[in-house]
Amino acid sequence: MCERAAVLSELNGGTNARVMFIGEAPGRRGADRTRIPFSGDQSGQNFDHFLHSAGLKRSEIFITSAALCNPRKESGANRRPSASELRNCSEFLQRTINLIDPSIVVTLGGVALEALKRLHYHEFTLKDDAAKVRHWNDRLLIPLYHPSPQVLITVRDERAQLRDYRVVTRAVQSLGAR
């Protein structure tokens, strides 16, 4: 288990992190290629920008995904993970949360928020609960929008997402989690 923890730590952040970010799935141009969540593509660059704006470093957080594989369309483009893919990965997600034991869980997009519902039921939605601190499974939960370029253009612009990440900063400060 220690060897596994070391591998997780190297690629995903620190295993003693008090803040865990959960994304949707590895992107084909990003984490599926680099093996590092939110790296190597525009979503990763946006995530780093937002993380930096929150005063957080990758070494201080832990990052994982709701689905561990890169779901693709026949064309090769990324697609949303199916319910069965999320179900198949839910035990690993639960074990990861148990291992890291974060005080704060931040979901990045609706898929990640939905995946948490499989582990411990909640009625939160991204539309109603984005950037709000909620209580979930003896932790603080902060649903945020995904940092993908498409979301920035069509749903939640950069300025709004920067405000959202300040909610994470305040939650971390309120716990003394840094």
In total, the chain counts a number of residues equal to 178
Phi and psi torsions of 13, nearest 5°: 125, -170
pLDDT of residue 6: 42
Please identify every stretch of the chain with a pLDDT value under 50, giving residue numbers as ranges: 1-9, 177-178
In this prediction the pTM is 0.88
pLDDT score of 105: 98
Residues 6+ apart with CB under 8 A from 39: 30, 31
Cα 9–chain centre separation:
15
Q: What is the pLDDT of residue 177?
A: 45
Please say whether the beta carbons of 61 and 19 come within 8 A: yes
Q: Which domains, ranges and CATH numbers included, belong to the chain?
A: 2-175 (3.40.470.10)
pLDDT of residue 174: 94
Residue-by-residue DSSP string for 72-85 = B-TTS-B-PPPHHH
Q: Both tokens of residue 42?
A: 């525009």
- Other C-beta atoms closer than 10 Å to the C-beta of 172 total 22
